Structure 1
Amino acid sequence: MNIVYINHYAGSLHHGMEYRPFYLAREWVRAGHTVCIVAASHSHVRSVQPKFAERTQREIIDGVQYLWHFTPRYQGNGVGRVLNIAAFCIQLMWDAKQLARNFRPDVVVASSTYPMDIWPAHRIARLASAKLVHEVHDLWPLSPMELNGMSARHPFIAVCQAAENFACRRADVVVSMLPKVHDHLAAHGLDLGKLHIVPNGVQTEEWDQAGEALAPELAQHIRQARGDGRLVVVYAGAHGLANALDSLLDAAALLAKEGFSFVLVGDGAERDRLSRRVASERLTQVRMFEPIPKRQISSLLAAADVAYIGLQRVPLFRFGIAPNKLMDYMMGGCVVLSAIEAGNDPVQEAGCGLSVSPESPVAIADGLRALAKMDVEARHAMGRRGREYVRRHHTWPTLAKRFVEALA
């Protein structure tokens, strides 16, 4: 089967996030399919951008064909990003006939988070007599409306809504990472018989190998904290508004005289402000470190006693969550404290930790106290349950197979 996978933000192990298209495509190639990932040259989530001078460039990574389209650089979520999106979709529409003729896809997947790629994907699929798949990452336009307060009358929101409606009516298959989207998509015209849930996953090969050693300063800090008898609480991921890290710092302040050490690793729009807050409030039990390579994540989690994840309390999460960070925590065998209110609760489903109210410093502090009182072996047993759950339900070979089965 020939699969064209359109994802504006697609990355690879070399380029960085977004990893899902690469991992799925690599498994499909291993299963004997041919895959072409179509992506934009600039993405705000990639750590390394592809470099080329032409309008398009082809590249092969681990057997997966990449077709990069040149798009303008941007920062933030303003006009620059909108122009970047428009440039990508217009080029795809322009190149649809050539892509359909040269690659001859059996399946075309529109998977760019925003839904406007469904229009060029539909044209490619129609020209190639291929199946059209709409993949749901986040629900647009609901995400920018509920998270960023954009008006339903905003022209960008109107375009997103038209694209979502088109996708629900015209796609042959809809694949969602979010498990509770049925009512929403049905309200926009989807026949629910076309809907399949394929969540995010982990690459077990990377976890089965020995992790790369942590940077000396980070490793020394954790060793010192453990040597002082402190429970090491790690947060590894984006430092953005949605991650509600102020609540974690508030909980750290409540636990200032108790035996906890908080280690925050990552970057994001809120990092500088949070760092200033740690300094001004003299939260000496909190240390913030720069992002670390993906190869070091397993080493970081192996050194942690508890892994923390939190999100703002917003209505959008009623459709469920599928955070990559949580999959990493569970695969790392870490007991998890989750401060998230959503339509699903993977931590409770796996039995790998505790779930508490989001944006509640008291609830977070009480959850950490409860975990600290547990026997070490009981925490390790929770961590093992998380790893076993991920291996059963969230490995990329399993998910890639489920995706292909949905096409049938």
Structure 2
Amino acid sequence: MTRIGLITQWYDPESGSAQTPGVIARHMRKRGHSVSVLTGFPNYPAGKLYPGYRLRWYSREDRDGVAVHRAPLWPDHAPSAGRRALNYLSFAVGATIVGMRVLRDVQVNLVYSSPITAAVPALVLRAIARIPFVLQVQDMWPQTVMESGFLAGRGAVVERGLQRFCDYVYRRARSIAVTSPGMKDLITSRGIPPEKVLVVPNWSDERSFYPVEPDAALKDHLGLERPFTVMYAGNVGDLQALDALIDAAAVLKERTDIGFAIVGDGVQRAKLEHEVSERALKNVSFHEPQPFSRMAAVLALGDVQFVSLKDMPLFRTTVPSKLQATLAAGRPILGALRGDAEEIITAAQAGVVVEPESVQGIVNAILSLRDLPAEELAAMGRRGAAYYRSTFSESASGSRLSRLLEDAVVQKDLQ
């Protein structure tokens, strides 16, 4: 049994991509490892504390046999550089203080690197207690920050500083796990040895994402009345480029057979709801984030699942975690993205892909998918589920990540 510390700013009960650390922790626990999670108080994606939580200097809870230690942070997810930086840095400081007390006895730390500042506690524990760490890169920094537009016109100094910090973290990590081949290329281009960087794709929570038949009662409960539903389920944020989906809905507003459902929350939801209201789009509905236990049934109500990212070079190396979840659930996909994620959808033969943020491309794809026989749509979903099982399953990816952590402990003991 290996004693593992998982350092992550995001953790259950947070939704969307923030659920990935919980999936990892439960897998490691299932493999017989002892897992201690160091995280913040839940506030993602809306930047507001979840019900039942209040900010304190320290809190502990147990989830699924995992000890969860919560450190203080400034809860915020606003599209403001200063406020977002305060959120990230406050967790780095709070988690370092708490981590010195609760992670001193672990054998290895796994850093869920989104944001990169989550590595600060691991760096301190490495320096003081000689605890090695494995870095799991979910988003490339500083590229994610720079291309988000937060620092427009004033980011050159920040970019240089973040890049130096990232390089420092890369060099001190025992190994680096990335979620796509493109990420490996970017990191090795910084002078990091290729053998230190391994591709370990995310896997989905297989207790919650699996193929099921549509539930008519749930469909009525959510008010999805139209025969064909294009669904987006996940974080409603800046980088998902959902404005293009709303514009596509406006183009198709006279099609009474096609509806659009957005399930989730995030910093852009209020803006999109206002836009839908202003344009009187009766074919678009918004729904609150759903519990994981219901997600398979919710996704089954979308005839097509929409997966998108902004049209930025960086995102050609990004594979959003909702892609694996959608494949695992066996749902047809309309992807508005390029790069590694496009290649996955194409290889799986699980849907169609159009240019990111292309309204006309999205409209044309929706119309072509609507015209397909139901059996062909179902076949796309089955192919996607089969591809997930062979390429992204928990048994495959989880085993790879576990070996990296075990090897880090062995290498330290040999020194």
Question: If the TM-score is normalised by the length of the shorter chain, which range does it land in?
Answer: 0.7 to 0.9
CA distance in 2, matches of 1:256, 1:52: 43
**1:297 aligned onto 2:295:** yes
Contact residue 116 and residue 160 of structure 1 kept, 8 A: no
CA drift at 1:252 = 2.6
CA distance in 2, matches of 1:116, 1:55: 19
Identify if the C-alpha distance between structure 1 residues 34 and 49 changes in structure 2 by more than 3 Å, giving closer, same or farther: farther
Contact residue 353 and residue 382 of structure 1 kept, 8 A: yes
Aligned counterpart in structure 1 of residue 362 of structure 2, from 361, 364, 367: 364
| Correspondence for 1:69 | 71
| Correspondence for 1:252 | 249
> Residue type matched to 1:21 in 2?
P
CA distance in 2, matches of 1:387, 1:283: 33
SS in 2 for 1:206: coil
Contact residue 6 and residue 108 of structure 1 kept, 8 A: yes
Identify if the C-alpha distance between structure 1 residues 19 and 279 changes in structure 2 by more than 3 Å, giving closer, same or farther: closer
Contact residue 96 and residue 120 of structure 1 kept, 8 A: yes
SS in 2 for 1:386: helix
Alignment of structure 1 residues 9-408 onto 2, 5 Å: 9=10, 11-12=11-12, 14-16=13-15, 18-41=18-41, 43-45=43-45, 48=50, 51=53, 55-76=57-78, 77-94=80-97, 98-99=101-102, 101=104, 103=105, 105-150=106-151, 153=155, 156-207=158-209, 219=221, 221-222=223-224, 224-226=225-227, 231-258=228-255, 259-319=257-317, 321-345=318-342, 346-407=344-405, 408=407
Unaligned runs of 5+ in 2: 408-415
TM-score normalised by length of structure 1: 0.86
Contact residue 3 and residue 36 of structure 1 kept, 8 A: yes
Identify if the C-alpha distance between structure 1 residues 138 and 49 changes in structure 2 by more than 3 Å, giving closer, same or farther: farther
TM-score normalised by length of structure 2: 0.85
CA distance in 1, matches of 2:236, 2:172: 37
CA distance in 2, matches of 1:132, 1:61: 23
Moved more, 236-245 or 42-51: 42-51
Unaligned runs of 5+ in 1: none
CA drift at 1:149 = 5.0
Percent identity over the alignment is 26
Identify if the C-alpha distance between structure 1 residues 129 and 381 changes in structure 2 by more than 3 Å, giving closer, same or farther: same
CA distance in 2, matches of 1:246, 1:15: 24
Between Structure 1 and Structure 2, how many residues are aligned? 398
CA drift at 1:64 = 1.1
Superposition CA RMSD, Å: 2.9
CA drift at 1:130 = 3.3
CA drift at 1:315 = 1.3
> More relative contact order in 1 or in 2 (CA 8 Å, sep 6+)?
2
CA drift at 1:182 = 2.5
> Could you report, residue by residue, the CA deviation over 1:322-371 in whole angstroms, capped at 9, with x for unpaired residues?
22222232222211111112344221121111111121122112112221
CA distance in 2, matches of 1:81, 1:403: 29
Contact residue 242 and residue 311 of structure 1 kept, 8 A: yes
CA distance in 2, matches of 1:149, 1:400: 34
SS in 2 for 1:180: helix
Identify if the C-alpha distance between structure 1 residues 270 and 131 changes in structure 2 by more than 3 Å, giving closer, same or farther: closer
CA drift at 1:122 = 2.5
Identify if the C-alpha distance between structure 1 residues 344 and 299 changes in structure 2 by more than 3 Å, giving closer, same or farther: closer
